[in-house]
Amino acid sequence: MGVHSKVILGTLKPESLTALLYYLKVKKRKGDSTAPETQIQEQTTMGLFDTVLGKQNQVQELFSPAEAFAAITLAATASDGYLSDEEARGISAALSRMKLFRSYSDEVMNRLFDKLLGILRRDGINTLFNMAKESLPQELREAAFAVATDLILADGIVTEEEHSFLNDLYLALGVSSEIALQIVQVMLIKNHG
């Protein structure tokens, strides 16, 4: 399976990806002229008030369970520093199949991704991840790890950053090593074919 294999998703609506792709700058991966990629870079400049007050004085808000779950999937997919169009569609498709997101309209999903991508761009992947892990209810932690693993393994290549992220994720979410191993094994089988 190639890195950029095509996935046909009959029920996927392109409008639900608008917010996700809007904030990210398209950049082709080095040496690959056929697959546009989006590089995610942490913003290093500080605003006027950040300089005076310091970023540590900012109050971190908590996410709703759905926001936390979506943030985990976004952080997992972006953990290698890139977010391809196919990966963005994968996030949307994975979330749209879940009970947690069934009542979410395209407009609500767009606002959700606007918020998450704003945090990702402004504060970086670590802040997004930490906010999500603090907000994610216990009963959704194994499911979040499973969906994140599925999204990472979907392209058939696991980078060192993605490998580290999955290891950190199962530990941070308190998923037992036995359950995490079972999830990884099942997702490897699922994404093998």
Chain segment 125-138, per-residue pLDDT in tens: 999 999 999 999 99
Q: What is the pLDDT of residue 158?
A: 87
State if pTM tops 0.75: no
Q: What is the pLDDT of residue 71?
A: 96
Q: What is the pLDDT of residue 193?
A: 64
Average pLDDT score over the chain = 75
| Assigned CATH for 14-192 | 1.10.3680.10
Q: What is the pLDDT of residue 45?
A: 43
Q: What is the pLDDT of residue 60?
A: 55
Q: Taking CA 146 as the corner, what is the angle to CA 150 and CA 159, rounded to the nearest 5 degrees?
A: 45
Residue 27, SS3 per DSSP: strand
Q: What is the pLDDT of residue 61?
A: 66
Instruction: Count other C-beta atoms under 10 Å from residue 10's C-beta.
Output: 4
- Rounded CA-CA distance 168/94 in Å is 21
Q: What is the pLDDT of residue 157?
A: 84
All residue ranges of the chain with pLDDT < 50 are 1-46, 48-49, 51-52, 55-59
Look at residues 110, 101, 123 and name the one whose alpha carbon lies nearest to residue 44.
123
DSSP label of 81:
S
- Rounded CA-CA distance 191/193 in Å is 6
